[in-house]
Chains A and B, each alone.
Chain A
Amino acid sequence: QVTLKESGPVLVKPTETLTLTCTVSGFSLSNARMGVSWIRQPPGKALEWLAHIFSNDEKSYSTSLKSRLTISKDTSKSQVVLTMTNMDPVDTATYYCARMDDSSGYSLDYWGQGTLVTVSS
């Protein structure tokens, strides 16, 4: 059974750095056909892709947020970590991680439940 679960702070202050962890089970981050993406969704707004990482450590970032994002993985812990620097109230959103599978054209076939992060002083 494939599951993903996001964890991290519920509240961060402006200018702080956000660190989110996605813990996966039911598949391995070393699987050559798999990757993990981070996506966010501000309240009442659309989905926005942030970053992804593949088993070979290949990474890609949203062009608009690239300077603020870092994605990494710890295969032994089955975790993918996303950091976002210089947080602002407009970054308030539900943050999701999701699995990418080559067999389905790298669609996001399993999603975590999401974690709401509020940016406020």
Chain B
Amino acid sequence: SYELTQPLSVSVALGQTARITCGGNNIGSKNVHWYQQKPGQAPVLVIYRDSNRPSGIPERFSGSNSGNTATLTISRAQAGDEADYYCQVWDSSTAEVFGGGTKLTVL
């Protein structure tokens, strides 16, 4: 089965740029989505199809995907960005798969 690997935690200084990676075999050939989950809340879609932002998601959130790694980038990190972040892929060969999640801490 297809697996997605994320770092358990990432720390970023307030106002700096955070990068959260998602590794998978030839993930660059798949559509990658990213979700933000704050404690006690349902996940929220922040990036779809590698690099697209849903309505209402700040431009500070961006994504890229190539080779074996997809990356979620959060620019000018704010305290409110502290959350767990999950990558996800879906296609006919993998069905739906989530990464293990990354806890983002803003220092």
Q: Which of B37, B90, B100, B101: most chain A Cβ within 10 A?
A: B90
A45 to chain B, nearest CB (A): 8
Set B42, B86, B95: member contacting A114, Cβ < 8 A:
B42
- Output the nearest chain B residue to A94 by Cβ-Cβ distance: B42
A113 at interface (Cβ–Cβ under 8 A)?
Answer: yes
Q: Chain A, interface size: which category?
A: 20 to 34
Q: In the bound complex, how far is the Cα of B95 from the Cα of A46, in angstroms?
A: 17
CA distance A61 to B1 in the complex (A): 13
Residues of A within 8 A of B96 (CB): 37, 49, 52, 60
Give which listed residue, A37, A62, A108, contacts B45 with CB less than 8 A. A108
Does A106 belong to the interface (CB within 8 Å)? Answer: yes
Residues on B with C-beta less than 8 A from A111 are 42-44
Q: Determine if A49 and B98 form an interchain contact, defined as CB atoms under 8 angstroms apart.
A: yes
- Give the dominant DSSP class at A's interface: strand
Known: A96-B42, A107-B45. A49 touches B95 (CB 8 A): yes
Chain A, range 4-26, C-beta contacts under 8 Å to B: none
Tell me the B residues contacting A by CB distance below 8 Å: 1, 31, 33, 35, 37, 42-45, 48-49, 52, 54, 86, 88, 90, 95-101
Can you offer 30 A-B residue contacts whose CB atoms are under 8 A? A46-B98, A46-B99, A47-B37, A47-B43, A47-B86, A47-B88, A49-B88, A49-B96, A49-B98, A52-B96, A60-B95, A61-B95, A62-B95, A64-B1, A100-B90, A104-B45, A104-B52, A104-B54, A105-B49, A106-B90, A107-B45, A107-B48, A107-B88, A108-B88, A109-B45, A109-B48, A111-B42, A111-B44, A112-B42, A114-B42
Chain A contact residues, CB within 8 Å of chain B:
37, 39, 46-49, 52, 60-64, 96, 98, 100, 104-109, 111-114
